[in-house]
Chains A and B, each alone.
Chain A
Amino acid sequence: GQNIDQPTEMTATEGAIVQINCTYQTSGFNGLFWYQQHAGEAPTFLSYNVLDGLEEKGRFSSFLSRSKGYSYLLLKELQMKDSASYLCAVSDSNYQLIWGAGTKLIIKP
């Protein structure tokens, strides 16, 4: 079967760095997406990785290792507004998105 695993919840301190991991087992791979979802709102796109390595976009970076079936989202200089759920999704061999359950990130002052 197809499976995406992420931690259910993480806590970090304002100004610090946090890494949210995602491991996947899917039938085929055509890229991995990260989305941010604030409570009560729709998910918004953060990043896309299809090749191995690190993609940096401001305070957020996303890493992919296809051989390990592993990705992480790195958030630097955390702000209170970063408190949200972070969803990992993999595009499978049919380009359908398989979604993780999301990681709820709590930022403390």
Chain B
Amino acid sequence: SQTIHQWPATLVQPVGSPLSLECTVEGTSNPNLYWYRQAAGRGLQLLFYSVGIGQISSEVPQNLSASRPQDRQFILSSKKLLLSDSGFYLCAWRVQADSGNTIYFGEGSWLTVV
């Protein structure tokens, strides 16, 4: 069966510090991978998605970046965090962007920028 894992689960970072969130998927090949952010009481905002190694699409201009160094690994990074980067970050995967294919989420990472 397929599993998705992301880490760290919680982190508190000072403004201007770097960020690295990691996500791995097991039990499937060439998945579509996603990074979402959810601000408190708000909906899901798509940040990045990837259909293959090295292929990253950015949905929202910001100081965040994403990389996919391996087929089942997706990394969200920042060189300098802003207060507005605080939120709940979710990694997700999907077999492929096709009708009926469900998207599955990792456990989530709570980021507080202070």
Question: A interface vs B, CB < 8 Å?
Answer: 30-31, 33, 40-45, 48, 50, 87, 91, 94-97, 99-102
Contact = CB atoms under 8 A, between A and B. Distances in A.
Contact of B43 (A41, A94, A99): A99
Chain A's interface: helix, strand, loop or mixed, by majority?
Answer: loop
A95 B97 contact: yes
Given A31-B100, A94-B97, A95-B98, A87 B105 contact: no
Given A99-B44, A101-B42, A102-B43, A91 B99 contact: yes
Interface of B: 42-44, 46, 49, 90, 97-108, 110
Contact of B99 (A31, A40, A101): A31
B90 A42 contact: yes
B28 to A, nearest CB: 16
B103 to A, nearest CB: 6
Interface-central residue, A42, A87, A96, by most chain B CB under 10 Å: A42
Nearest to A49: B100
A40 B109 CA distance: 10
A41 B110 CA distance: 10
B102 A43 contact: no
B100 A48 contact: yes
B105 A42 contact: yes
B103 A97 contact: yes
Contact of B108 (A42, A50, A96, A97): A42
A59 B74 CA distance: 36
Contacts of A101: 42-43
Nearest to B43: A101
